[in-house]
């Protein structure tokens, strides 16, 4: 009986180590970090992933209450959060793109409460929903699981790595917030700029024309038409951002 109890305690102690990395990623990763995904669901997902990954990895025999064990716990949490931050950059880029297009259309005041980002423009919320559908359509959830398993191969439990290099790579990748937003919003923004220029010429030619009564409705209608026309391009860019994020997850541990 004592032997079985000791084996069970050892299993729980060693199983806790990979669960730390998985749980840290689930807390901050897109989709599963939403308020709609309750804490019990995250716990069940974390336990299920740990149960699947546990037999596939080698775990060191370290006393978790020692200084080395505490250091390993902090390191595992850092790895999980780093993976989640890399993926959250995609959501941030999509929200910034929606904000830029909404401002150009005159919909900057039309805001909704998004559970993943707080109060954001309505168009940003639409892009986030579109991004979620694209993520699920090409199997992003399965790719995320594979990347999580690969992280245990690239950085085994208890292995040493350069934290400064990881932080530098994550900060470098964060520039994709602005680059990705520009790639998504640029076609619509350029077209909106030409429409604004045309309205300015019309106002200059006919000063008696009430530009506020004509310009705002025209900008909103034109903005929606342009967004609908550019939806295939926007969807392609969002998919490209997700794939780039997945590739970056495997390289943030490498020296640039």
Q: Is 24 helix (H, G, I), strand (E, B) or coil?
A: helix
61-96 confidence digits (pLDDT tens): 766 667 777 787 788 888 888 888 888 888 889 888
Mention every residue, 6+ apart, whose C-beta is less than 8 A from residue 35: 115
Which among 229, 199, 194, 193 is positioned nearest to 214, based on CA atoms?
A: 199
152-178 confidence digits (pLDDT tens): 888 877 777 778 888 888 888 888 888
92-127 confidence digits (pLDDT tens): 898 888 888 887 777 765 555 555 555 667 788 888
Report the run of H or E that residue 120 belongs to, with start and end. Answer: strand 118-121
Is the four-CA dihedral 153, 76, 140, 50 of positive or negative sign? positive
Residue 247 to residue 250: CA distance in whole angstroms: 6
pLDDT of residue 120: 66
pLDDT band at 2; cut points 50, 70, 90: very low
158 conformational bin, left if phi > 0, alpha if psi -120 to 50, beta if neither: left
Q: How far is CA 169 from CA 31, 164, 176, 250, 255, in A?
A: 23, 9, 12, 11, 8
pLDDT, greater one: 20 or 235: 235
Q: How many CA atoms lie within 13 A of 214 on its CB side?
A: 13
Residue 169 to residue 153: CA distance in whole angstroms: 19
Residue 238 to residue 80: CA distance in whole angstroms: 23
pLDDT band at 129; cut points 50, 70, 90: confident
State both tokens at 9. 């305690």
Residue 241 to residue 87: CA distance in whole angstroms: 9
Residue 84 to residue 25: CA distance in whole angstroms: 5
pLDDT band at 199; cut points 50, 70, 90: confident
pLDDT of residue 3: 44
DSSP letters spanning 186-249: HHHHHHHHHHHHHHHHHHHH-TTS-HHHHHHHHHHHHHHHHHHHTHHHHHHHHHHHHHHHHHHH
pLDDT of residue 1: 40
Residue 193 to residue 208: CA distance in whole angstroms: 23
Residues in the chain: 256
Q: pTM value?
A: 0.80
């Amino acid at each position: 009986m004592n032997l079985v109890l000791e084996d069970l305690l050892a299993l729980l102690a060693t199983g806790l180590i990979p669960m730390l990395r998985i749980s840290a990623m689930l807390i901050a990763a897109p989709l599963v970090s939403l308020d709609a995904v309750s804490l019990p669901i995250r716990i069940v997902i974390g336990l299920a992933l740990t149960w699947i990954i546990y037999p596939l990895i080698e775990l060191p025999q370290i006393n978790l209450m020692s200084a080395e064990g505490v250091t390993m716990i902090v390191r595992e949490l850092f790895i999980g959060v780093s993976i989640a931050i890399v993926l959250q950059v995609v959501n941030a880029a999509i929200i910034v793109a929606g904000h830029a297009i909404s401002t150009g259309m005159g919909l900057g005041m039309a805001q909704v409460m998004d559970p993943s980002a707080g109060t954001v423009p309505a168009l940003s919320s639409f892009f986030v929903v579109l991004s979620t559908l694209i993520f699920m359509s090409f199997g992003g959830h399965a790719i995320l699981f594979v990347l999580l398993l690969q992280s245990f191969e690239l950085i085994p439990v208890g292995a040493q790595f350069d934290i400064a290099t990881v932080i530098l790579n994550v900060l470098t990748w964060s520039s994709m917030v602005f680059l990705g937003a520009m790639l998504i919003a640029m076609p619509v923004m350029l077209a909106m700029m030409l429409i604004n220029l045309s309205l300015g010429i019309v106002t200059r030619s006919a000063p008696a024309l009430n530009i506020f009564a004509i310009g705002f409705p025209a900008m909103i209608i034109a903005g929606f038409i342009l967004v609908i026309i550019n939806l295939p391009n926007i969807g392609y860019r969002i998919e490209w951002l997700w794939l780039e994020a997945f590739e970056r997850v495997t390289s943030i541990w490498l020296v640039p």
